[in-house]
Structure 1
Amino acid sequence: MRRNNQSILLQHLLDNYGPITVRPVRDISRPTNVTFRIIPVELIKFGEENQQVELSLDVRMKWRDENKLWDPMDYDGVDYVTVERNDVWLPDIVLYHNVVKEFISRPDTYITAWSNGSMDWYFPAIVATACPIDITYFPYDVQYCNLTFGPWSETAEKVNFRMSTEAEANATYFRKNGVWVLEEITASNLFIHSCCYDLSWTAVQFVLEIHRQSSFYTRTVVVPCILLTVLMVLVCWLHPASGEKVTLAVSNLLALILFQQLVADRLPPSGETTSIIGKYSIK
């Protein structure tokens, strides 16, 4: 059976590629430029007790591989091939402040290699990272989670890691969550210096602004709190000679105890901040 030109080209490229641990550049003094972009797809879990967030993302990385250059005219116009990630050099990207052993869970997807050396890698991923919780304004709180990606062993002199300028990260494709709403995503480039050596790394930071949907908590926490306050005021207005004053006061006291338990169950546990409604129920 005659092999097509794409198969012949791919076999030729792989046979002459070399070690995948060596950066694919002709001049080792030049850094490899890597662009990075994420699109949040779904908030899988927001662990408020452990202050962790798990997200599903669509990731795109792009760089230039000088070991994969060819003239399309030599292969009947073939200007791209798909390769496996284990067959080529990859940037050793990690997620800072990750909370799982494997910082990023991704399937085995192919990388598109173009004739000019451009490498495009699109893949879905699941990441888990630490996200400090501020419950001061619970249930109308807004949380900010940082996702910082960058090389681990390749310094800035070897890999120049930057956010993609072709398209910004946004919440357009984010699936609706019953508790959290993704309001905004901001991205920025970081330059990280080492504390002990004269080394530096480049990284990309994404800040996710997540807003809690408060309608459920308004009905079950805020409204009962207001009603109990009104009833306590009514107790003070009743005449001491009224036979219902003591009964109403005791009923309000029992309701207040139950309400405190309800608030404690609804509030996310946090030792750093205390919610205003929690302080109000205690006082």
Structure 2
Amino acid sequence: MPRSHSIICIGGQYEKQLLHNLLDQYNTLERPVANESDPLQLSFGLTLMQIIDVDEKNQLLVTNIWLKLEWTDVNLRWNASEFGKVKDLRIPPHRIWKPDVLMYNSADEGFDGTYPTNVVVKNNGSCLYVPPGIFKSTCKIDITWFPFDDQHCTMKFGSWTYDGSQLDLQLQDETGGDLSSFITNGEWDLLSK
């Protein structure tokens, strides 16, 4: 006689219902704040993984960077106990509002060199977006003392359309970024942040 086993799938049904509840009427154009006169608090950081190239001729710096953006979306909150204790979701960035932070001195053909990874959304509305990317930025390079030259390259990030009254961008690391995963380059040394 064949045996039957019943399997209870808890996570799937709750996540499906939760995603429907959160995203069905969600407006990706709406800045997610409780009061429109308040700025959205955005924490911004980056991890410099590698200097890929310093192109003296074209005055370009090419880097591998992971951005880190954190904010709270008041429209993406839920009570985890009502949804099978689901405490976080992974949502594609095109499905929710996300800050339009770009590199101002980008020299990339597509301007935004990031890969659109999922946004991790927790039940309290906190959102974590960590898109990796290859960034091509302009850099004034002086080769007077080549090959013993030091170059100072700046990468400037900010919101493209929001001003400070709408988006309050706060740096996570005042020294310029996380270098804990930095891979050294045989041709160039990183002197300081």
Once the 2 structures are TM-superposed, how far is the Cα of residue 178 of structure 1 from its aligned partner?
1.7
SS in 2 for 1:4: helix
Runs of 4+ in 1 over 4 A off after TM superposition: 165-168
Q: For structure 1, list consecutive stretches of 5 or more residues without a partner in the other structure.
A: 186-283
Please give the alpha-carbon distance, in whole angstroms, between the structure 2 residues aligned to 1:179 and 1:54: 13
Alignment partner of 1:114 is 2:103 = no
Change (3 A) 1:166 1:43: closer
Alignment partner of 1:42 is 2:50 = yes
1:57-206 to structure 2, matched below 5 A, reads 57-165=65-173, 169-185=177-193
Match of 2:14 among 5, 10, 28: 5
Once the 2 structures are TM-superposed, how far is the Cα of residue 145 of structure 1 from its aligned partner?
0.6
SS in 1 for 2:137: strand
Please give the alpha-carbon distance, in whole angstroms, between the structure 1 residues aligned to 2:111 and 2:52: 15
SS in 2 for 1:147: coil
Identity across the alignment (%): 28
The count of residues paired between Structure 1 and Structure 2 equals: 184
**Cα pair 1:41 1:55 within 8 Å, conserved:** yes
Once the 2 structures are TM-superposed, how far is the Cα of residue 7 of structure 1 from its aligned partner?
2.1
Please give the alpha-carbon distance, in whole angstroms, between the structure 2 residues aligned to 1:86 and 1:128: 23
- Higher RCO (CA < 8 A, seq sep 6+): 2
Question: Residues 213-242 of structure 1: CA distance to partner in whole angstroms, max 9, x if unpaired?
Answer: xxxxxxxxxxxxxxxxxxxxxxxxxxxxxx
**Cα pair 1:104 1:126 within 8 Å, conserved:** no
Q: Which has the larger radius of gyration?
A: 1
Q: For structure 2, list consecutive stretches of 5 or more residues without a partner in the other structure.
A: 1-7
- TM-score normalized with structure 2 length: 0.88
Amino acid in the other structure paired with 1:76: G
Please give the alpha-carbon distance, in whole angstroms, between the structure 2 residues aligned to 1:148 and 1:167: 14
Amino acid in the other structure paired with 2:32: P
The structure carrying a bigger strand percent of its residues is 1
Once the 2 structures are TM-superposed, how far is the Cα of residue 96 of structure 1 from its aligned partner?
1.1
Instruction: Report what 2:62 is aligned to.
Output: 54
Instruction: Report what 2:23 is aligned to.
Output: 14
Question: Residues 166-199 of structure 1: CA distance to partner in whole angstroms, max 9, x if unpaired?
Answer: 99623332212121011222xxxxxxxxxxxxxx
- TM-score normalized with structure 1 length: 0.61
**Cα pair 2:56 2:143 within 8 Å, conserved:** no
